[in-house]
A and B are shown apart, each in its own frame.
Chain A
């Protein structure tokens, strides 16, 4: 069963290579349409994320339809811009739910996923989101499915890697004092306490311009590994000041660091040899990831990142579920989504658990000359 699916995915990827001609031919043969919704941030404060999301979904749909569609029908979507704001997300999700869709992808951020959760529950339509806050799983919404690893998993993997592979004896945790940072900190601390490893945690606030004090504290505590859990601007600052203050210990950073928009703010030597725990890196030489990266690059001319990979994978997860459900009834699709198991996609291995979480591991990457290179895929229970 597992093999069959891997074969199916690889097949559909190779189908893509045969080009746009095939798309036209097969698409015409498909009888009828299956409509899904997509809510992403095309305008607002995070438009790049929305664009990559849409590109990922576009590519997946193209491949799926070129490969015979779903249940012999063409899979299509209706896309709306949620501007990454709560009010607009509620609006567009209501709009999409009015359009006779059988399942919806998005909205992306945890806050917006929480804001729209009730709407999906009331409409009894399953939705797949990439919001990574561990609290989403506590909403107790049977229609909620998460297609990315939650922050808990990233934190556990970071701690596990520091202890088991880097063999750290005393770990410094540098965290952002916001929900994301403190959430990560708590997970890491819990894992370290379980392993009986000594640690020291120092916090900073979003928007801080100087971390000398925090870094000096870590130095004086003689930590031999640092886990940095913070946002984009602050991780840049952390990297620069660690380098300037001459603190030469291995660093494991949260996902943001592997994105080009962050790396472009840094000199290569600042982050040389850093580790990152993240969903996805394009330098992975796994067959499935490689095929996806090549196809994405062929279509758009640049490498996919986390959003493209997450939502490309989400589309396949959904297509797989509809196929198994054998109908476009949302309840049947929900049922099938909960039974998703061992589905190999660029974003990881998808197995649904009882809280709707589908990905249970993440990538550890090492940054060499500003290029994050995959070194391990770590799963946690």
Chain B
């Protein structure tokens, strides 16, 4: 019963995602939806390392920047076809994943966070100062549109459907990974490293794998961002952006695909929806995010999975009654 309900929910979401841009011709809405899709890809990646494996990665901005610049420079500086740019972005993700994965074997908690922040900031500073290659603070301009079998994706409406397909594929793949052996090992590493070690699983390999999944999707998301915007500069990829992705993951629901998708949707679209409040919209948005964090500690997705809803508070209420 619940399963069919869940299926119906996903189908409904899909229908909405496909139909909305056709009905609603506003380009502003299209561009926000495109960003949502990019964010879904990035958050789904982040979910592997931080959500499932429990390794705090605060370097998402740096990872995205690597992907975005790889793709952008390939197509502007070296005039490679766009597909090459995307492949280079994925390769970059593999390299960064291995590179960031190794320190994570020895570092825990706050020290790993610091390492990833360090990586992100170094990336940003290099991109800012390596003016000959990256264009410095003025960034990379005139990044070409994606050309898909002779169709130029030159409006956010066209990009949307291409990115929608990518996002769906990423989500399905991610769902399959989470419910595979890999996913179970990731979760086990988060819960009890020693037990996983004792069971004969190569923790080092799995941690690096989780990191690589995150960086590959992060870099891919970055490349999507670059080709959607047509222009990138280093000031976009600050610590705020990394924190934003963490917020999406946590508010949506840690460790689940549904949570990542919902989080990306809510955190991207909500501030734009609240714009009618003018000067107060960011205050209201932050308050809503805070309330979600307090009352839905397992994320928005726990509203749909039922039982976990407000469990913590329910229990407190009972214990109060007991005291009376």
Contact = CB atoms under 8 A, between A and B. Distances in A.
B82 to A, nearest CB: 17
18 contacts: A42-B279, A80-B275, A85-B235, A86-B229, A87-B35, A91-B28, A91-B272, A94-B156, A98-B26, A110-B137, A110-B138, A111-B137, A114-B141, A115-B139, A115-B229, A118-B142, A118-B230, A178-B128
Contacts of A83: 282
Contacts of B141: 114, 139
Secondary structure class of chain B's binding surface, majority of residues: helix
Contacts of A135: 138
B166 interface: no
A90 interface: yes
B131 A182 contact: yes
Contact of A90 (B31, B138, B240, B281): B31
A110 B31 CA distance: 21
A377 interface: no
A179 B131 contact: yes
A328 B291 CA distance: 46
B28 A178 contact: no
B116 interface: no
Interface of B: 26-28, 31-32, 35, 128-129, 131, 136-139, 141-142, 156, 229-233, 235-236, 240, 272, 275, 279, 281-282
A133 interface: yes
Please name the 5 residue pairs, one residue from A and one from B, whose CB atoms are nearest each other, closest first: A179-B137, A95-B28, A179-B136, A94-B28, A43-B282
A42 B279 CA distance: 7
Nearest to B229: A90
Contacts of A81: 275, 281-282
A125 to B, nearest CB: 13
Contact of A111 (B139, B240, B281): B139
B231 A114 contact: yes
Contacts, number: 73
Nearest to B155: A122
Nearest to B271: A88
Nearest to B140: A114
B284 to A, nearest CB: 12
B236 A85 contact: yes
Contacts of A114: 138-139, 141, 231, 233
Contact of B129 (A118, A139, A177): A177
A83 B230 CA distance: 20
Contacts of A86: 229, 231-233, 235-236
Contacts of A161: none
Contacts of B272: 91
A86 B228 CA distance: 12
A87 B226 CA distance: 11
A133 B128 CA distance: 15
A86 B275 CA distance: 17
A69 to B, nearest CB: 24
A94 B231 contact: no
Interface in A79-105: 80-81, 83, 85-87, 90-91, 94-95, 97-98
Nearest to A139: B141
